[in-house]
Structure 1
Amino acid sequence: MDLAKNKAKIFKSVEEAAEAENNTQGVNVIAVTKYVEAEVAHQLVEVGVRHIGENRVDKFLEKYHALAGQPVTWHLIGSLQRRKVKDVINLVDYFHALDSVKLAKEINKRADHSINCFLQVNLSEEPSKHGFLKNEIEEALLEIAELPNINLVGLMTMAPLKASQAELEALFDETYRLKEDIKAKNIKNMPMTDLSMGMSGDYLVAIKHGATFVRIGTAFFQ
């Protein structure tokens, strides 16, 4: 495992994909470190990675404290139980899995500042995935708009594991269009400037459809 080499390869491919789409906003690469120890996460920072993402609260806290003082933007990208919100929410820079109004209300209650959140959407309607179904989004937005500590920066979605190229294209395009529709409504505390979508196997397709944050794990550590 050559982290420097893998980082350079990933960042180059992301930069080229963004340039091909005339993406002037740029694409942020989140290194997902759930399967590696804090020391490896530290090595990623040393080779120039600035965004670290964790799925679980305990692993997030472990790495957050181990890398204290490092130039890291912290992302909690996995599902968050309401009872654990108080333990972690004021440490994250971005929370990617806002999947219920109840969770939004708990975050609003526990946060001591405005939290950058992605609304998790399940447009493929997979029973195994969390997130708002398309017909649930409008009502949820109305309720979330009344929560001053929730700053909805965009949408997050995950593609089905065995999705075809055509299915990936359709899902990511639909997510982009939904984000733009919400943005056009100018709802308070919902700038909707970003899209969190794309992982090691499909991030180039996601960038083609407007992703501004991609979550990459396996490709860093192979």
Structure 2
Amino acid sequence: MVNVSENITRVLERIAAAARRSGRRPEDITLVAVTKTVPVERIREAVACGLKDLGENRVQELLSKQPHIEGVNWHLIGHLQRNKVRQVWDRVCLIHSVDSLELAREINKRATAAGRRVDILLEVNIAGEESKFGLVPDAVIPLVREIAGWPGLHICGLMTVAPLVADPEEVRPVFLRLAALRREVEALRLPGVDMAYLSMGMTNDFEVAIEAGANMVRIGSAIFGSRDYQTKVEVH
């Protein structure tokens, strides 16, 4: 049986140690608990332990759980199709996965029409994996220049998903490259762009990501157990 409380304690201890190794405070790192396929009751356990940021990969799963869990910040961390923007743009605190001009335009259109501004991260496919979404690194600054100052968008930083490898040290260069790209974007000092967040690192590699500069990590299995053991989503 998975003990969510104990898992959270261990994860927070590891985050704190990695933060100190990188010369930062533990409270500088935001933990986003990834709740993909996790039943609502188990998510409530995590919230009761003090977790306030929850990340979902799929729009429909997020919308099905959201009414049953209060007092949290929802993040959309998975790929977002343009035709689903209308369902979710105003239901989350941060969209981590903006990876095209077309998607940015759709979010901006919806938000502007409502007199709102949406916080987004640009997803970057640093490693160039064909199986993953994200901008190629060379496309990031041109896109930022294009959409900076759009009234419905607030570009808050960058996100990446590193390759899954046995030794997390192998992906340290991926994280360092994203951190460097963040500094490049920040140096442009464009309107509507502040690069507050560097979202990178998951269960397998979050400590290395923090050491490389991450201040937001997305962790699921280390909290809720392997997805192989997750049950069908249940709402009570």
Match of 2:36 in 1: 34
CA contact (8 A) 2:155 2:194 kept: yes
| Secondary structure in structure 2 of the residue aligned to 1:85 | helix
Could you tell me how far apart the structure 2 residues matched to 1:39 and 1:165 are?
31
The answer to whether structure 1 residue 185 and structure 2 residue 167 are counterparts is: no
Q: Name the counterpart of 2:52.
A: 50
1:172 aligns with 2:175: yes
The Cα shift of 1:166 comes to: 4.3
Matched, 1:156 2:159: yes
Which residue of structure 1 aligns with residue 232 of structure 2?
none
SS at match of 1:193: strand
Matches within 5 A, 1:47-196: 47-67=49-69, 70-111=70-111, 112=114, 113-162=116-165, 164-196=167-199
1:155–1:194 Cα contact (<8 Å) kept? yes
Contact 2:33 2:51 in 1 (8 A): yes
Shift of 1:87: 0.7
Q: Is the 8 A contact 1:98 1:117 kept in 2?
A: yes
Partner of 2:20: 19
**Which consecutive unaligned segments of at least 5 residues does structure 2 have?**
226-236
CA distance in 2, matches of 1:65, 1:27: 27
Q: Taking structure 1 as the reference length, what is the TM-score of the superposition?
A: 0.95
| More displaced stretch, 130-139 vs 88-97 | 130-139
Shift of 1:213: 0.7
CA distance in 2, matches of 1:40, 1:9: 17
Greater relative contact order structure (CA < 8 Å, 6+ sep): 2
- Given that residues 97 and 131 in structure 1 are in contact (C-alpha distance below 8 angstroms), is that contact kept between their aligned partners in structure 2? yes
Deviation at 1:163, TM superposition (A): 6.5
Task: State, as a whole percentage, how many aligned pairs show the same letter.
Answer: 38
The counterpart of 1:200, out of the listed 192, 200, 203, is 203
| Contact 2:126–2:162 under 8 Å retained in 1 | no
> Deviating runs (4+, > 2 A) in structure 1?
162-167
Contact kept in structure 2, 1:117 and 1:154, CA below 8 Å: yes
- The match for 1:7 is 8
Tell me the distance in 2 between the aligned counterparts of 1:165 and 1:33. Answer: 22
Post-superposition Cα deviations, 1:50-104, rounded to whole Å, max 9, x if no partner, equal: 110000001111111111xx22111000011111101111011011000111000
Amino acid aligned to 2:7: N
| Letter of the 1:54 counterpart | E
TM-score of the superposition, structure 2-length normalised?
0.89
Q: Does the 8 Å CA contact 1:151/1:189 hold for their aligned counterparts?
A: yes
- State the aligned residue count: 220
Counterpart residue type for residue 62 of structure 2: F
Q: Which AA in structure 2 matches 1:16? A: A
